[in-house]
Amino acid sequence: MIKKGLVYIYTGDGKGKTTAAVGQIIRALGHNLKICYISFHKDPKKWGYGELDILRKLGVDIFCFAKEHPHFCKGISFKGLRNECKKALDFIEKEIFKKDYDLLVLDEINIALRDGYIKENKLLDLLNSKPKSLSLILTGRGMIDKIIEKADLVSEIKKIKHPFDRGLKGRRGIEF
């Protein structure tokens, strides 16, 4: 059992943030840790993320909030997404923090923060109120300095080269 939980951030414009979090989940599962994964702005039904079914089968609890994002879904309401994100934070505080998870992944939460669906002070409150033994992983590009200050580990994943740049499309089994 991990004694004191740390806060980990994977940010930056390169590929590897979510997969680094998923890899860390697998590593933690190998040591029988109890894990919860919560995503923001991802719709598994629409995109068919290959990893989620496997994580579920391995015993990871999975929840998806604010599944849409204006980048992929024009005309979606700001207020609706903000409410969805508020629901997510309430759920984490009232339900998830009460259970004895060792690791909680908040995938793409940085996007919700960057785009104003989650306010900075609300996320800071969440980090301050987490159970001591719980480790957190936050992913998504554009993480802000105040959250970085609170974190124990921050990796910036920089894009040096990406196949999208030469017009290649997202590949099944690699991008989703």
Q: Binding residues for its own copies, per CB under 8 A?
A: 2, 6, 8-10, 12, 14-31, 33, 49-55, 58, 102-103, 135, 148, 151-163, 168, 171-174, 176
Shortest approach of its own copies to residue 17 CB, angstroms? 8
**Shortest distance, position 156 Cβ to its own copies, whole Å:** 5
Least separation in angstroms between residue 49's CB and its own copies is 7
* Shortest Å, Cβ 14 to its own copies: 4
Q: Is the Cβ–Cβ distance between 113 and 144 less than 8 Å?
A: yes
Nearer to its own copies, 79 or 169 (CB): 169
Q: CB 85 → its own copies: shortest distance, Å?
A: 24
Q: Which residues of 66-91 are buried (b: 16+ CB within 10 A; e: fewer)?
A: bbbbeeeeeeeeeeebbebbbebbee
Least Å from the CB of residue 171 to its own copies? 6
Q: Which is nearer to its own copies, 5 or 85 (CB)?
A: 5
7 vs 96 by CB, closer to its own copies: 7
Beta carbon nearer to its own copies, 116 or 170: 170
Token pair for residue 159? 């894009």
Written as six digits, the tokens of 22 are 């998923």
CA–CA separation, 150 and 50 (whole Å): 31
Smaller CB distance to its own copies: residue 47 or 91? 47
CA distance 117 to 84: 8
Q: How far apart are CA 75 and CA 63, in angstroms?
A: 24
Judged by beta carbon, residue 84 or residue 107, the one nearer its own copies is 107
Is 105 exposed, middle or buried, given 0-12, 13-18 or 19+ CB atoms closer than 10 A? buried
**Structure tokens belonging to residue 152:** 């124990």
